[in-house]
Amino acid sequence: MQITLTLNGIKITEDVAADMLLIDFIRAHGCKSVKRGCETSNCGLCTVFLDEKPVLSCSVLAARASGHSITTLEGLQEEAAEFGGFIADQGAEQCGFCNPGFIMNALALFRENPYPSEEEVKEYLSGNLCRCSGYEGQLRGIMNFLAWKKQKEAAE
């Protein structure tokens, strides 16, 4: 079946198998930030934006994305770099495997709620798997980023 979608601002038309998952389509087009983790929609490693909303690409057929816009971390480099530095500052990137999905979900949170409380951050990101850091570094990085952002906006 033929699908047409926009991936990180580039329109793509391609024939795909009816059962092809969005994660496979995206990775075949060079977006390696999208990772395979649990393949059961529980870890957040395959998070992408579908029309600016976070979805788990391991749970979406590529055909369902036809006519829509998909954004991966590769398409959000500037926005992600600003925030990602705060995570790295806390040593929370250890192996780095979870970082792309974690950053995608954090950016989605900031778009929905620019200044979430610590409890809101914990609730929103509860579906993200990280096996090496214990999440405390990521949480400190997020809270430091939010404090920096608030201070930056107040100075402007």
pLDDT digits (tens, 9 = 90+) for 30-69: 999 999 887 778 788 899 999 999 999 999 999 999 999 9
Distance between start and end Cα atoms, the chain = 51
Averaged pLDDT, 121-142: 79
Domain that holds residue 113: 76-155
123 and 138 share a domain?
yes
- The pLDDT assigned to 133 comes to 65
The tokens for 19 are: 């059962």
Core vs surface per residue 99-136: b (16+ CB within 10 A) or e: bbbbbbbbbbbbeeeeebeeeebeebbeebebeebebe
The crossing angle, in degrees rounded to 10, of helices 136-155 and 77-89 is 120
Into how many domains does the chain fold? 2
Whether the pLDDT of residue 93 is over 80: the answer is no
93 and 150 share a domain?
yes
Whether the pLDDT of residue 145 is over 80: the answer is yes
Q: Is 30 exposed, middle or buried (0-12, 13-18, 19+ CB in 10 A)?
A: exposed
- The pLDDT assigned to 89 comes to 82
44 and 93 share a domain?
no
81 and 150 share a domain?
yes
50 and 38 share a domain?
yes
> Are the beta carbons of 70 and 22 closer than 8 angstroms?
yes
